[in-house]
Amino acid sequence: DVKVTQSSRYLVKRTGEKVFLECVQDMDHENMFWYRQDPGLGLRLIYFSYDVKMKEKGDIPEGYSVSREKKERFSLILESASTNQTSMYLCASSSTGETETQYFGPGTRLLVL
Amino acid sequence: AQSVTQLDSHVSVSEGTPVLLRCNYSSSYSPSLFWYVQHPNKGLQLLLKYTSAATLVKGINGFEAEFKKSETSFHLTKPSAHMSDAAEYFCVVSEFFLGNQFYFGTGTSLTVIP
């Protein structure tokens, strides 16, 4: 059974804190993704990675960075959290190929005070 | 440019009646199309996907979708709604030639009335 796990289901942080969101997949997938989900906006891509140590900006990378040191792990970093980064963060992974599917983690709901 | 439009942000149906969630897309090449469901406080779960084989795709929980290239549509249907179908539904398009990225619609919230 495929599995994508995220380190926390809920997080509360203060403005200015550095925040790490971890995502691990056990499917040996090449591609990994970070999205944020906000009401009325659907899912928006922050960053994605198609290989170890590779990263590409998505639609809304500002205020975020990522790290992929190992194939199974993709970390999202908020260098200095702000209240407008309060959101649901979803990690996904997929295998390279024409018709492959994204598999999602359960999400991390982040509140920045 | 690729885009996905979910025509209804909210849909309300009575239990036992048909469900129709509409999705239109734009794509330069041959897309793969997906429907995902998200129950409250959960991640996204794949319902079904279209990958250039049969245009009528059957998914889990009695859902199906029909790919209509001439109408650039991929509407999701179910003959009879169940209370457990109440959730958020996302239509997604993917194009391999663009590095296997996925483009999401803004979602349709389905309410099922007892």
> Counting beta carbons within 10 angstroms of the beta carbon of residue A86, is it exposed (0 to 12), middle (13 to 18) or buried (19 or more)?
middle
The predicted pLDDT at position B12 comes to 97
Give residue limits of the domains in chain A. 4-112
The C-alpha atoms of residue B82 and residue B80 are separated, in whole angstroms, by 7
The predicted pLDDT at position A40 comes to 81
The predicted pLDDT at position B38 comes to 93
CA-based end-to-end distance of chain B: 41
Give me the mean pLDDT over the B60-78 stretch.
Answer: 94
pLDDT digits (tens, 9 = 90+) for B12-52: 999 999 999 999 998 777 788 999 999 987 889 999 998 87
Top residue of A8, A21, A36, A37 to mutate, by most chain B CBs within 10 Å, is A37
Top residue of A101, A103, A109, A111 to mutate, by most chain B CBs within 10 Å, is A101
The C-alpha atoms of residue A56 and residue A33 are separated, in whole angstroms, by 10
pLDDT digits (tens, 9 = 90+) for A63-109: 999 999 999 999 999 999 999 999 999 999 988 765 678 899 999 99
Amino acid in position A94: S
Q: What is the CATH number of domain A4-112?
A: 2.60.40.10
Residue A99: which of B9, B32, B43 has the nearest Cβ? B32
pLDDT digits (tens, 9 = 90+) for A8-67: 889 999 999 999 999 999 999 999 999 999 988 888 999 999 889 899 998 899 999 999
Q: Which residue of chain B has the CA closest to A48? A: B101
Residue ranges and CATH numbers for the domains of chain B are: 3-113 (2.60.40.10)
Q: Which residue of chain A has the CA closest to B95? A: A98
pLDDT reading at B103 higher than 70: yes
Q: Which residue of chain B has the CA closest to A41? A: B106
